[in-house]
Structure formats: C-alpha cells, structure tokens
C-alpha cells in the first residue's frame, strides 16, 4: 500500500515528495517516545489514556479520534474514511500515518500514546518504515468480547459504529488483523498485557506499574 503511494508521490513531482521528506526529517530529529495502546473496541483504551496523560505527561493521540476529526474537517478523504469506519474496516495506512506524523510534529511534547493504531501488520510495517519509530512498548488491554460489547452498547457517544452490526465486524477485524500486531511485538518482548475487564481504578493501578517500571516519572 505505502509503496504504491510512494510511486505516486514520485510521479506527482518533487513538491509533494519534498514535503513528505520534510515531515519525516523533522520527526526523526524530534525522536519521540511512542507507546502503542492496543486492545479490542471497548477495552478501555481511551479512558486509560486520559489517566496516563494526567499522571505521566504523555500526549494522547487516538487514531480513531484523529480520523473522525479528519471527516469533520471536510478533507478530500473524509467520505472514504467515514465509509470505512461505518463498516469497521481499516483506513489505508498512508492516510492514518500522515495524520499521526502531523499530530506528533505539531505537538510541543515528545512522548506519545498512540491509541488504536497499528490495526494490522501492514499499518505496523508502514509506520515503522516511514517514520523509523519503534515503540518503547505496547500496552495491550485484554478483555472478553462479552464485556466489550456491553460497554460499547452502553456508552452512547453518538458514534456511527457503536451498533451491534458494526461492533461484530470490529471484533472480527480485531481478532483477524490486530491480534497479529500484538503477536509481532510479543515475540520482541514489547507487550505489557493488562487485564482490562476489571473496574477502571484497578486497571489503572496495573497501568501505572507498567509506566513506572519503564521509568516514567509521575508529573506533579
Ligand atoms: N480506524 C482505522 N485505523 C486506525 C484507527 C481507527 O481505520 O488506525 C477506524 C476503524 O474503522 C475503526 C474505527 O476507526 O473501527 C474506530 O476506531 P477507534 O480506535 O476510535 O475505536 P475502537 O474500536 O478502539 O473503539
Ligand atoms: Mg477509542
């Protein structure tokens, strides 16, 4: 996917090519610390990320929220993104990666929680290839589908994909496409698994231990 798009950049000429190189160049200089936060839909990634931000001074980048903001901004890709999300499908890597790169560059911070990305092996390989960033570790929230379904149907955030039909599709995509990403990092000793079926406070206790062991100091 990314390779094809690089060829397009080349065909389109040097301006876009140079812009892409600049983004990468300055992001490499920034050399950010990245933690990937993975887990099924409704496993509590967003909730726990808010706690981690408060406690350890990271900036939270939710790939899903950034994609939804892209739809709202009326960008050229908006309709395509909206259709993918409605179907629970994974948006093309180059789109999501560009948005994440820009968010990291625009931020004054250099520590990021990237929540809900990478969602498949292609996302993962493209991100590493393009940004040269390897995550410090991967926080993985483990939760049963029964519990996740209960949370998603109860949360009422007005999301077009929080209906039972799309939820089932998202579960299937998670098992088939996202678990292999967790396995990839597991084989590299990078996965910190959390029992996410527990109450929010108890989950955060376990999360805090992971960041403390990683030597992240609590802020204020
Ligand atoms: N999505 C995507 N790529 C990403 C992150 C999200 O394509 O890197 C899309 C995908 O369609 C997904 C939806 O956005 O089902 C919602 O993602 P989010 O992380 O907000 O929801 P979650 O499934 O974690 O509740
Ligand atoms: Mg989320």
Q: Choose the CATH number for 2-219 among 3.40.50.1170, 3.30.70.20, 2.102.10.10, 3.40.50.300.
A: 3.40.50.300
pLDDT at 24: 76
* Cis peptide bond N-terminal to 118, omega within 30: yes
Q: Is the pTM of this model over 0.85?
A: yes
The answer to whether the beta carbons of residues 80 and 180 sit under 8 Å apart is no
Going from the Cα of 7 to the center of ligand 1, the distance in angstroms, rounded, reads 27
Going from the Cα of 85 to the center of ligand 1, the distance in angstroms, rounded, reads 7
Compute the average pLDDT of residues 59-67: 98
Point out the ligand 1 atom lying closest to the alpha carbon of residue 90.
7
Is 194 a pocket residue for ligand 1 (Cβ < 6 Å)?
no
User: Who surrounds ion ligand 2 at CB < 5 A?
Assistant: 46
pLDDT in tens, 113-150: 999 999 999 999 999 999 999 999 999 999 999 999 99
Going from the Cα of 11 to the center of ligand 1, the distance in angstroms, rounded, reads 31
- From the DSSP assignment, how many helices (H) and strands (E) are in the chain? 11, 5
Q: Is 118 one of the annotated binding-site residues?
A: yes
């Amino acid at each position: 996917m990314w390779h094809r798009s690089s060829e397009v950049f080349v065909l389109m000429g040097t301006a876009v090519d140079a812009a892409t190189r600049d983004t990468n160049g300055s992001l490499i200089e920034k050399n950010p610390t990245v933690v990937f936060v993975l887990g099924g839909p409704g496993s509590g990634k967003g909730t726990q990320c808010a706690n981690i931000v408060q406690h350890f001074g990271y900036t939270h980048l939710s790939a899903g929220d950034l994609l939804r903001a892209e739809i709202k901004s009326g960008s050229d890709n908006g309709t395509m993104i909206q259709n993918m999300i409605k179907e629970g499908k994974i948006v093309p890597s180059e789109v999501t990666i560009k948005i994440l790169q820009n968010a990291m560059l625009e931020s004054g911070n250099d520590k990021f929680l990237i929540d809900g990305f990478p969602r498949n092996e292609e996302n993962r390989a493209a991100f590493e290839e393009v940004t040269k960033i390897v995550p410090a570790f991967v926080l993985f929230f483990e939760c049963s589908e029964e519990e996740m379904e209960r949370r998603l149907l109860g949360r009422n955030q007005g999301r077009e994909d929080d209906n039972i039909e799309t939820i089932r599709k998202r579960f299937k995509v998670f098992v088939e496409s996202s678990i292999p990403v967790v396995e990839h990092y597991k084989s590299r000793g990078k996965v910190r698994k959390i029992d996410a079926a527990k109450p929010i406070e108890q989950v955060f206790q376990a999360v805090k231990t992971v960041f403390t062991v990683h030597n992240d100091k609590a802020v204020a």
